[in-house]
Amino acid sequence: MPADRRTELPSCYAMVHEGLEDLAGAEIAQTLGGKIKRAGNGIVVFRLDDIDRSILQLRTTEDVFLYAWGTDELSYRAKDLESIERWTDRVRWDSLLKIHHAVTPKPKGKTTYHFVTQMSGVHGYRRVDAKKAMMRGLIGKLPGSWRYAEENASVEIWLTINGAMAVCGMRLSDKTMRHRSYKHEHLPASIRPTIAAVMVRLAELKPDQTVLDPMCGAGTLLAEAHLSTRGKKTTAGTDWPMRFLGGDLDPSHLRAAQANLRRFGITDLRTWDARELPLEDASMDRIVCNPPFGKQLETPEAIGPLYKQSVREMDRVLHPGGKAVLIVADAAALRSAIERVGWKEQRHVQLRMLGQRAFIGVYRKPSAGA
Ligand SMILES: C[S@@+](CC[C@H](N)C(=O)[O-])C[C@H]1O[C@@H](n2cnc3c(N)ncnc32)[C@H](O)[C@@H]1O
């Protein structure tokens, strides 16, 4: 692309779970060739050489946007409202709309639009005041024939305020980016698909591997593992041969996994107790798992013994040199279970998901003789 066109292109930004900014940035850089400008507060700002539908293929991001303006220097005082109006007014909204239409084709019928304002932190104004300030800045910027719609609008303009940070932009993704289209069956304890995608990236799957989720719930981790390898070719030009299997203690959870995973051809799903797996020693190359968090158990103090017994069993079935990626709320309980089996922690990530702290640990089982 000629340099002059590239400089005209706006930046983009992605919303991610707090703590996962660097990992999402790595996906953006690797799969889209994006240059990361800023990562923090659950926002990753980046530039692309071209903005097209490939941006919608990101798997670790909750939403992606065209960047209109942003700041790290809100004053928390009412004078921010004048700034929000002024910054919004200065944006070349017509250029953003052109790119938006190219990425997200205009639906038939009347075009509709919607404004979203999110605000966290204690500010000297209300969220609705910030929204009104943005709307004043937008006066005359959108075609007069367009109609405001509460739901399913074709164009959404978002303002996100988090402490002193604010970012405003036009949403390119729709709800299928964060919720996916395969998730027909949901469980209250299901992991967010974007977090599952991060865990799968951390597991670094290779061709011809067997991937296990011993407490698979509705099967999100296995779905993301499958999707991360789909379309990948071996040096001989064939699809990666992979095997995915999972199980759960609760037959109704297993039925949800079966319903979600059938379309991917993942059928090796069984009702089992992860503390006693009907699997051979050293038969798995990768384990991805989201065991229950303490608050999901009738007796939260049972979490320690459950983690110890299930990690011991994971160790038995994991091939020496194999990797396990686990997400828990209670990092100390997990680490105490891991210490007993002697896995090496390669990396850990702390994140917030829906207001709750969580911990992802990445472990390698030492190779035989190591
Ligand atoms: C947090 S949920 C997993 C959610 C899953 N990742 C998803 O996306 O739906 C934990 C799962 O562990 C299962 N579980 C709890 N104890 C188990 C055990 N001893 N053996 C196998 N599964 C167990 C629960 O039934 C539940 O489905």
148 vs 137: CA distance, rounded Å = 16
Closest residue CA from atom 10 of ligand 1: 292
The response to whether residue 193 sits with its C-beta less than 6 Å from ligand 1 reads no
Question: What are 235-269's pLDDT values in tens digits?
Answer: 999 999 999 999 999 999 999 999 999 999 999 99
Q: What are phi and psi of 327, to 5 degrees?
A: -120, 130
Q: Is the pLDDT of residue 301 over 90?
A: no
Instruction: Determine the average pLDDT of the residues in 107-136.
Output: 94
Q: Which one is predicted more confidently, 51 or 109?
A: 51
CA distances to 71, 81, 115 from 123, in Å: 15, 11, 20
| Position 95 confidence tier, pLDDT thresholds 50, 70, 90 | very high
Q: Is ligand 1 within 6 A of the CB of residue 51?
A: no
Please determine, for residue 295, whether its predicted confidence score (pLDDT) is greater than 90: no
Closest CA to ligand 1's atom 1: 292
Average pLDDT over residues 180-207: 94
pLDDT reading at 353 higher than 70: yes
**How large is the average pLDDT for residues 140-157?**
94
Distance of CA 353 to the CA centre of its chain: 10
Instruction: Give the rounded percent of residues in the chain with a pLDDT score beyond 90.
Output: 89
- The whole-number average pLDDT for the span 9-32 is 97
Pocket flag, ligand 1, residue 212 (CB < 6 Å): no
Distance (Å) from CA 215 to ligand 1 centroid: 4
Q: Torsion-angle region of residue 153: left (phi > 0), alpha (psi -120 to 50) or beta?
A: beta
255, amino acid identity: R
Contact 217 CB / ligand 1 (< 6 Å):
yes
What's the gap in Å between 262 CA and the centre of ligand 1? 19
Decide if pLDDT at 273 tops 50: yes
Q: Model-level pTM? A: 0.94
More confident of the two residues 314 and 183: 314
The pick from 253, 266, 289, 296 for probing ligand 1's pocket by mutation, whose C-beta has the most ligand atoms within 8 angstroms, reads 253
Best residue among 185, 215, 359 to mutate for probing ligand 1's pocket (most ligand atoms within 8 Å of CB) is 215
Which residue's CA lies nearest to atom 25 of ligand 1? 250
pLDDT at residue 4 in the model: 46
State the virtual CA torsion across 212, 217, 223, 229 in degrees, nearest 10. Answer: -20
Instruction: Say if ligand 1 is within 6 A of residue 25 CB.
Output: no
Find the 190 Cα to ligand 1 centroid distance in Å: 9
Q: What is residue 327's predicted lDDT score, i.e. its pLDDT?
A: 98
Lowest model confidence (mean pLDDT) among 135-139, 297-301, 308-312: 297-301
pLDDT value at residue 105: 78
Asked if residue 162 lies in contact with residue 74, where contact means CB atoms within 8 angstroms, the answer is no
Confidence at residue 3, expressed as pLDDT on a 0 to 100 scale: 42
User: For 213-230, what is the mean pLDDT?
Assistant: 98
273, 249 contact by CB (below 8 A): yes
Q: Give the distance (Å) from ligand 1 centre to CA of residue 267.
A: 18
The mean of the pLDDT values for the chain is 94
**What separation in Å is there between the alpha carbon of 337 and the centre of ligand 1?**
17
Residue 355's pLDDT is what?
78
Interval between CA 189 and ligand 1 midpoint (Å): 8
Would you state the pLDDT for residue 263?
95
Query: Is residue 7's pLDDT more than 60?
Result: no
pLDDT category of residue 178 using cuts at 50, 70 and 90: very high
Q: For residue 192, how far is its CA from the centre of ligand 1 (angstroms)?
A: 14
Ordered structural domains, the chain, with CATH: 3-178 (3.30.2130.30), 180-364 (3.40.50.150)
Q: Is the pLDDT of residue 369 over 80?
A: no
Distance (Å) from CA 114 to ligand 1 centroid: 38
User: Where is mean pLDDT largest: 105-114, 181-190, 214-223, 352-361?
Assistant: 214-223
Identity of the amino acid at 246: G
The b/e string for 275-313 (b: 16+ C-beta within 10 A; e otherwise) is bebebeebbbbbbbbbbbbbeeeeeeeebbebbbebbeb
Q: Is the pLDDT of residue 296 over 90?
A: no
Q: What pLDDT, on a 0 to 100 scale, did the predictor assign at position 248?
A: 98
174 Cβ inside 6 Å of ligand 1:
no
User: What pLDDT score was predicted for residue 1?
Assistant: 41
Of all protein residues, whose CA lies closest to atom 5 belonging to ligand 1? 217
Q: Is 259 in the pocket of ligand 1 (CB under 6 A)?
A: no
